[in-house]
Chain A
Amino acid sequence: MVVCNFFMQGRCRYGDKCWNEHPSGGNASSGGGGGGSRGGYNNSRPPSNRGGAGGGGFGNRVWVNPSQRSGGNYVQPSSFSRGGDDWGGGGGNNWNTGESGGGRDNVKSTEFSFSSQNRFTALNNASTFDKAGRDRPGDENEKHLETIQNDMEIWETSGQWVFSCYSVLKATISGFRDHSPEELRLEYYNNKDSGDLQGYANGIIQLINQWRSRVQELKTMNATTRVAMLAELNNPVPQATSEGFGSSGTGFGSSTTSFGAGGFGAPAQPQPSSASGFSFAVPSAEFGSSATQAAPTGFGVAAATAVATPPPSGFGSFPASSPPSASGFSFAAPVAEATKAPSTSGFGGSASGFSFSSTANSGGGFGAAAPSTGGNDFGQTSVSSLFGGSATGTVAGTGSAGELTDSLFTSQSELTPEELSEFGAKRFSLGQIPLKPPPANMLVI
């Protein structure tokens, strides 16, 4: 086959339909041609290398991609055939790299030659050019943070309904709860009947204050908030509610169309509307497979968050951790949940009711409750240690994990007296939950 000259120059109008050969490795960037009439334009020229330009040089050309050219600004490497000026054609003279912002492919005709040095200078110019117009990833985060700040300001001044959740991109920003006006009015009516309007008013004021402080936090954006926000934005943890989903619990995994792009963008804040204390039901419902109800093992309530970077399919997701609010949630110690597929991300257990108020979410795996379901996967280390002093930070370390997966029980001799007493007690006390599984004989059914 005859090699297509135009393709070599990057301007074959016929593209794939061209009857001549388009060698690969040459000018892969040559744009598609007109396609329409095969006027034989290409064929009318003698299929010879034009103007004595070395044939071997063809493979090395750096081509401006004609498909990227705009309108009349067609870039023609006029020096392609040294001496041929019939290419001079469209606007051959005004290409310098500084021209027309964003045009990355303008190449100086004078620089254009076969030698390898100049080939790369063209590239250099183009690439710096390109970058100037584009944000680096870090900038995008900055923009999001700015958006958050602006939104907070507007929220404060615009008289907007304050009891609303808030989100940027796909991530719900924690710390905001959804209450509809009707729910608040219900509270009002309830309290009016019982005569406790002051209590209602106080509850509302409390909510407003919480909101206000949260807005302040986000507006001023100090370092910790910043980090937390970036974590939330980049890892949109779907904060599912504590209750199981779906009537039969089996199945939202079944239909893949039910998920939009990227699985679960949809976080929710499972917050109560009433001011009184309340407890979540046991968290459950894993996506993508039949729901597993993790055994609560004697723990009343858990709120756990999935670990950072959850893959979109098949992992358990858990309710949000929200900043501890004054309206008494009763959280017992967190529960570790087994995921069906250990290869997917591990799970975290973090109960927000406890010490920290930051919104960082990656939870650590916990050894204590795990043993009842063998073969657990442990998530990443927790950001802040959730149990007072105990070294839970190391729980997720592989050492203990290995140990646990090997044996379900520890023998009594290996346990310290404190741990033994914990196992013997009716409930684990916070901060002293043993890291090793109980001895088999202590398991009383």
Chain B
Amino acid sequence: MTGSNEYKLNQGPEDSISAVKFSPSTAQFLLVSSWDSTVRLYDVGGNSMRMKYQHSAPVLDCAFYDPTHSWSGGLDTQLKTHDLNTDQDTIVGTHDAPIRCVEYCPEVNVMVTGSWDRSVRLWDPRTPCNAGTFSQPEKVYTLSVAGDRVIVGTAGRRVLVWDLRNMGYVQQRRESSLKYQTRCIRAFPNKQGYVLSSIEGRVAVEYLDPSQEVQKKKYAFKCHRLKENGIEQVYPVNAISFHSVHNTFATGGSDGFVNIWDPFNKKRLCQFHRYPTSIASLAFSNDGSTLAIASSYMQEQGDISHPEDAIFIRQVTDAETKPK
């Protein structure tokens, strides 16, 4: 589509998309994990699929360790790492239940995975091997790395902050400030805090510093709600992604909209057009020039016919992402 800043990726996954992640060094490569049990690597500029590898069950999350290695885990409970140069994969380890989140912490050089077996495990990417298992109070639904800390969001609206260099104890034990199930947590690039979203069309911005004056700055707002026939329909906010440079973030919900927010001025910067179906995942590239939007039905209403799952690549401008 020439002349437009957005296009759909070819050879997309055949089932729902669970996660999209850009390569840490370039906006050219995108890793996509899907419920069709594959993890695919796309060349975004050339709009083609470069590589694909399989798991034995749907894959729930993927992450880049470095531009040549990807890690992924899912319902088969196995954590795999794949060398993108040699197209070889290795099983690193397992959890006792499906792996829900995979993230990399560059500061501590460790991969972090969270699972429904209520544990967070650390993995040393060089060997690769398990570097510890840490149990959480509940099933892990989401996690995000902030510097040398990891913020874990679990069932029961709990949020735990762990210090990756000292995992003997939980650094902070908190509760989500929202009333309903936590859907996604992402940390600010400046590591001052995190953004938490729930199934109730609400997003909370919170800070990590436990002191009172900083905690007073936290707030929450409603979003991704549509008024249909006079009744407000509430949609879960499934995805959050931060723009690395401006510290603004994008949220995607099951209503099919993507909004970009400025957390410091508490304003919405931009809303894109409505996508064919729910937004399952969002990812900004490392330089903030590109946003990958996975529009993929999330089975909230069971198995009904739905628009095709697709990944859209959009070149975002400063006007859309920069605080005013």
Contact call A257/B199, Cβ cutoff below 8 A: no
A185: chain B residues within 8 A (beta carbon): 35, 299
B66 sits at the interface (CB 8 A): no
Q: How far apart sit A154 and B118, CA to CA, in the bound complex (Å)?
A: 31
User: What are the interface flags for B188-200 relative to A under an 8 Å C-beta threshold, 1 for contact and 0 otherwise?
Assistant: 0000000000111
B270 within 8 A of partner (CB): no
Chain A interface extent, by class? 35 or more
A159 and B234 within 8 A (CB): yes
Q: How many residues of B contact A (CB 8 A)?
A: 51
The reply to whether B234 and A158 contact each other, CB–CB distance below 8 Å, is yes
Q: A151-B179, A189-B58, A246-B170 are in contact. Are A165 and B232 (CB under 8 A)?
A: no
Answer whether residue A276 sits at the interface, using C-beta atoms and an 8 A cutoff: no
B213 smallest CB distance to A (angstroms) = 14
Q: Give bound CA distance, A62 to B171, whole Å.
A: 50
A181: B residues at CB distance < 8 A: 236, 298-300
Residues of A within 8 A of B100 (CB): 182
Given contacts A159-B233, A268-B154, contact A186 B135 (CB under 8 A): no
A260 to B60, Cβ gap below 8 A? Answer: no
Nearest neighbor of B159 in chain A, beta-carbon distance: A266
When the two chains form their complex, are residues B181 and A180 in contact, meaning their CB atoms are under 8 A apart?
A: yes
Given contacts A166-B179, A168-B179, contact A247 B156 (CB under 8 A): no
Alpha-carbon distance between A265 and B179 when the two chains are bound, in angstroms: 13
B132 touching A247, Cβ below 8 Å: yes
CA distance A184 to B236 in the complex (A): 15
Is the pair A252, B169 in contact by a Cβ cutoff of 8 Å? yes
Q: Count contacts between A and B, CB distance < 8 Å.
A: 150
Tell me which residues across on chain B come within 8 A of A161, comparing CB atoms.
Answer: 180-181, 199-200, 236, 300
Contact of B134 among A154, A246, A257 (CB under 8 A): A246
**A107-115, A236-244, A345-353: which lies at the interface:** A236-244
Contact of B174 with A by CB under 8 A: yes
Q: Mark B146-171, 1 if CB is under 8 A from A, else 0.
A: 00000000111110000000011111
Taking beta carbons and an 8 Å cutoff, which residues of B are in contact with A?
18, 35, 58, 60, 75, 98, 100, 116, 118, 132-135, 137-139, 141, 154-158, 167-175, 179-181, 183, 198-201, 210, 225, 231-236, 298-300, 303
| Residues of A in contact with B (beta carbons under 8 Å apart) | 151, 154, 157-161, 163-168, 170, 172, 178, 180-186, 188-189, 239-241, 243-248, 250-252, 254-255, 257-260, 264-271, 273
Q: Which 7 A-B pairs have the closest CB atoms?
A: A268-B156, A164-B181, A178-B155, A161-B199, A158-B234, A266-B175, A160-B234
